[in-house]
Structure 1
C-alpha cells in the first residue's frame, strides 16, 4: 500500500513538474557528462534548449569541458567515496555529500542522467541525496551485468534484458559467489540496478536503465578504437598482425556508438516523463543499446580497415593470455536491441556508417597534430604500454607516416561530412520530439 501511495505521489509530482516547465525544456542533472561516454549526451540536450547541470571533476582531456561549460551549469565534485583503513566506505564525508552546490540547493530536476555511478555505496548515496528532487532517473549501465547473471532460459541467439537476473537457491552459495567474481564491473553495475529497483518498489522515483555494449566513438580516453585505427594501417608495414583471441574468435560483438547513446537518453526522458505516451512501459525497465550488426573480431577489424584504406587486415590467432584484444570486453556475447527499438522508438546508426565517422575523426586528429598534441602524446604513451616490446617501433612508424602526410598534405578524402554533427543534429521524427526539442538549438 505504501508503495502504491508513493507511486501516486510521483505521478502527481511528474504532472506538476511538466505543467510548470511548459515550453522551457527539461531541467536535467547529469552525473558525469563531460567524458567519453557522456559528452555527446550533454551536447545534444544543450543544443535542444534544455537546462543542463553537470556534476563532474571537470577534467580537461580533449576539449569537451571547455566547449560545453559556457552552455551548462557545472558543479565540480569528485564522486569517489573515501575508504577507511578497514576497507569500508565513508559516504557521510566523501563523494556527492561534498558537492555543496547540490547539497545546499533546493533545485529539483525533471531527469537525472547517471554516467558516473560505479558502486553500490555510490548509488545509495545518490538515491539518498536526490530522493524527492527528481522525476526520472536514467542509469547508464552495461552488458557486463550479464556476465554475473544466471544462465539464460531461452533459445535466443542474443542476450535479452530479462537475462540480467542473479541465480537463486538452485545454485550453491559457493557457485553464486564464483559467478559474482566473473566480472567486478558487472557485479557492481547489477548491484546498482538492483538498488534502483528496490527504492522504486518502495515507492521511490521512477528510473530507466540503459545497458551499453562495447562503446566506441570520438574523443575516447581508453584509446581502444584509436589503437585499432592505427594498427590496421601498420599491420602489413610492420609485420604486426592484429591479435584474435582464439577463445573468443567466433563470439559476435555488440558495439555501441556514443551519438546513439545521446539519442536513447533523450527518447527515454521523453517517454519516461509521459510526453509521448505510456510512461509505464519504461519505468523500472532496462534497454540494451548497440548497433544491429554483430561482427566477430576478424570481421570487426575489416570493418575498421575499410575506411582507413586497408582492404586487407592481417590477423593472428593467439591464446587469451597472450593476445591484445580490445573488443569484446564482456564474456556472454551480443545483446538484443529489439526492446529499445520497439518501446523507445530508438534507431541505432549502422556500424559501417559509425565506424566511418570515427575513422574520419581520428584521421583529422592525427593530421592536426599541433592542435591536438596533448591527446596524441597521451595516446602514444598508452599504446607503448599496451604493445610492450612492439610499442616503440609502432609509435615511431605512426609518427613518421603522419609527419609525411602532413608535409605533402595527402589527406584521405573520405568525404566532407562531419558525421557526428549530422547524427547529433538530425531531426527526429514527429513522434519522437520531447518537450523543448523545437526550441532554437544553441550554438556550440
Structure 2
C-alpha cells in the first residue's frame, strides 16, 4: 500500500515507518526534523527505514517539511492510501513553557491533514493521541469514557486533535481512528525519558534520579506493541470512527522502575530523589478492552521484559545514544 507517515522520523513514527517499509509497502515520511531532541536520532530512523525498504522490496521517501504547511500536506495526502499521523510537538513540560507551539502543530497540523483527506481517496487516517488527555483520574484504569480534563497544554492539544478526528468521521464520513498511547518506550526513544535516564546513570555508576517520591505510577507500553496495533489498521476498518487506548494494561511505580533498572545494572547504588515536575500526571493505567475487542489487541511485552530489551539495545548503541541522554539531562 501507499502509506504516508507524518512525524515518520520520530520515535513511534520511525519505528512504524521502518516496519511498514520492511513489509514491502511504499512509505513516504513527512518530518520537519525539529530539534526538540537531537536530530541525530531521527537521522538514524531514516537510515533504518531506508535499509528496511531495500530489504523488503518496497519504496521509502523522506520529505523534510511541516504539517503546518497545508499545501505540502495536501500534495502528500493525495498520493497516499492510508495516513498515520504521528507528527506532534511532544512534551508536557515544554507545553507549559510555550503553549502556542503544541496548539499550532498538534491542532492546526491535524486540521490540515483532515481537510486534505476530505478531498482525497484515503482509506483511513490513524492519529496518535495520548493518555495525557485524561488528566487526573476519577477511577483507574482509564477507559475511553473516562472524563477528559487534561492538566497541561499538551494534553489539551492532543484532546482537540482526537476530537476533531471523531467529528470529521461523523460529519464528513472520513475513516479515522485515534490511538491514545500510554508512555511508549523502546529503541530510539527520546533521550530525556525516565527509562533512558535510569539506564544511562546506572551503566555509569551513578544513582538513578526519581522526580517526586516515586509513588507515581505509569502504564509503560513497549514500542513494538504500538507498531503492531497501527499495522493492524492498514486494512481493518472495524475501528473506524473510534478512539482507542493503547497501553500495556499494567502499571509500575516510578520508584520500582528505578529499582528494577538499578538491580539489573548496578545493584549497589542508592536511589536519589529530586523535586517533582510541574504538570506530570500522578498515575496512568490503560483499559485496553476496546482495542482488544475491535482489533484483537493484546500487548505482548511487560515492562520488565521491555526494560531488558531496551538495555540490550542501549548497550549496542551506547556510543552514539548515551551522549544524547547525558546532554538531555544536563539541561534539566
Q: Which TM-score tier does this pair reach, normalised by the shorter chain?
A: 0.7 to 0.9
Cα drift, residue 97 of structure 1: 1.8
Cα distance change on mapping 1:80 and 1:265 into 2, 3 Å: closer
Count of residues in correspondence between the two structures? 301
Q: How does 1:116-131 map to 2 (within 5 A)?
A: 116-117=87-88, 118-131=105-118
> What corresponds to 2:185 in structure 1?
216
Partner of residue 298 from structure 2, selected from 330, 333, 347 = 347
CA distance in 2, matches of 1:100, 1:69: 24
> What corresponds to 1:107 in structure 2?
79
Question: Which region of structure 1 is more displaced relative to structure 2, 111-120 or 352-361?
Answer: 111-120
> What corresponds to 1:299 in structure 2?
256
Q: Deviations over 1:45-98 (max 9, x none)?
A: 1222222222223655352112323623425243264xxxxxxxxxxxxx2424
Q: How does 1:21-100 map to 2 (within 5 A)?
A: 26-57=1-32, 60-61=40-41, 62-69=43-50, 71=53, 72-79=59-66, 81=68, 95-98=69-72
CA distance in 2, matches of 1:49, 1:69: 12
CA distance in 2, matches of 1:268, 1:303: 34
CA distance in 2, matches of 1:199, 1:340: 21
Q: Deviations over 1:22-65 (max 9, x none)?
A: xxxx2221111221122121122122222222222365535211
Structure 2 unaligned regions, length at least 5: 34-38, 54-58, 89-104
CA distance in 1, matches of 2:3, 2:175: 15
SS, match of residue 38 in structure 1:
helix
Cα drift, residue 160 of structure 1: 0.6
> What corresponds to 2:317 in structure 1?
365
CA distance in 1, matches of 2:131, 2:261: 22
State whether residues 216 and 253 of structure 2, in contact with CA within 8 Å, keep that contact through their aligned partners in structure 1. yes
CA distance in 1, matches of 2:62, 2:211: 43
CA distance in 1, matches of 2:153, 2:31: 23
Structure 1 unaligned regions, length at least 5: 1-25, 82-94, 166-178, 273-278, 387-444
Higher RCO (CA-CA < 8 Å; seq separation 6+):
1
SS, match of residue 137 in structure 1:
strand
TM-score (norm 1): 0.61
CA distance in 2, matches of 1:244, 1:320: 5
Say whether residues 1:256 and 2:221 are aligned partners: yes
TM-score (norm 2): 0.80
State whether residues 3 and 80 of structure 2, in contact with CA within 8 Å, keep that contact through their aligned partners in structure 1. no
Cα distance change on mapping 1:268 and 1:97 into 2, 3 Å: same
Cα distance change on mapping 1:107 and 1:317 into 2, 3 Å: closer
Cα drift, residue 233 of structure 1: 4.2
Larger Rg: 1
> What corresponds to 1:13 in structure 2?
none
> What's the RMSD between the two structures over aligned residues?
2.7
State whether residues 302 and 312 of structure 1, in contact with CA within 8 Å, keep that contact through their aligned partners in structure 2. no
CA distance in 2, matches of 1:55, 1:316: 40
CA distance in 2, matches of 1:344, 1:330: 28
> What corresponds to 1:173 in structure 2?
none
Q: How does 1:203-352 map to 2 (within 5 A)?
A: 203-224=172-193, 225-234=195-204, 240=207, 242-246=209-213, 249-272=214-237, 279=238, 282-308=239-265, 310-311=266-267, 314-320=270-276, 329-348=280-299, 349-352=301-304
Cα distance change on mapping 1:285 and 1:364 into 2, 3 Å: same
State whether residues 77 and 96 of structure 1, in contact with CA within 8 Å, keep that contact through their aligned partners in structure 2. no
State whether residues 67 and 73 of structure 2, in contact with CA within 8 Å, keep that contact through their aligned partners in structure 1. no
SS, match of residue 141 in structure 2:
coil
> What corresponds to 2:56 in structure 1?
none
Cα drift, residue 359 of structure 1: 0.4
Q: Deviations over 1:372-402 (max 9, x none)?
A: 3xx443333223223xxxxxxxxxxxxxxxx
SS, match of residue 195 in structure 1:
helix
Cα distance change on mapping 1:130 and 1:258 into 2, 3 Å: same
SS, match of residue 55 in structure 1:
strand
CA distance in 2, matches of 1:157, 1:100: 40
CA distance in 2, matches of 1:285, 1:313: 46
CA distance in 1, matches of 2:25, 2:3: 7
> What corresponds to 2:323 in structure 1?
377
Cα drift, residue 342 of structure 1: 3.0
Cα drift, residue 338 of structure 1: 2.5
